[in-house]
Amino acid sequence: MFIAYEIIILRNNKSRRIIFNLTGHLLITGLFLSAFFYLFPVQRSANVYLFNDFFSSIKSIPVIILKYLELTLFPLNLALDYPLKVPVSFLSYKFIILFLGELIGFSLAFIFTYRQKPVIAFALVWYLIGLAPVLGLIPLWAK
């Protein structure tokens, strides 16, 4: 996220300078995560994806993004978990329309806001990164 902030907000495109500025942050984060996982080991028994397998999880991404975008704009009937229908295949009209619509929509919003209001472009990137835990790409470890 620091790298996205440096590139989008500060418009600093020099990769050496970005890495130099963030070395301390990355070192401290790495040490913290190493100590945390050493002190609190995770017991792993099986890989459990959100929707049975990896490809079903990928097919569900446009549906999940649309659901959370709807909940962001209209926070009604909030719950911890939402029932979602996974599209049947990558060639189904629902998957194609949602995927292309979201890809074009977020891309255009980022492109138009990047030059005028870089803070809004940064917020779009942050929003998508914030959705990463619920997208189901990373398998959850079952106990």
Q: What is the pLDDT of residues 103-123, one digit of tens each?
A: 999 999 999 998 888 889 889
Q: Which has more pLDDT, 108 or 93? A: 108
Nearest one of 76, 67, 87 to 131, comparing CA atoms: 67
The stretch 124-141 carries a mean pLDDT of 78
Q: Does pTM surpass 0.85?
A: no
Tally of residues, the chain: 143
- What DSSP designation does 133 have? G
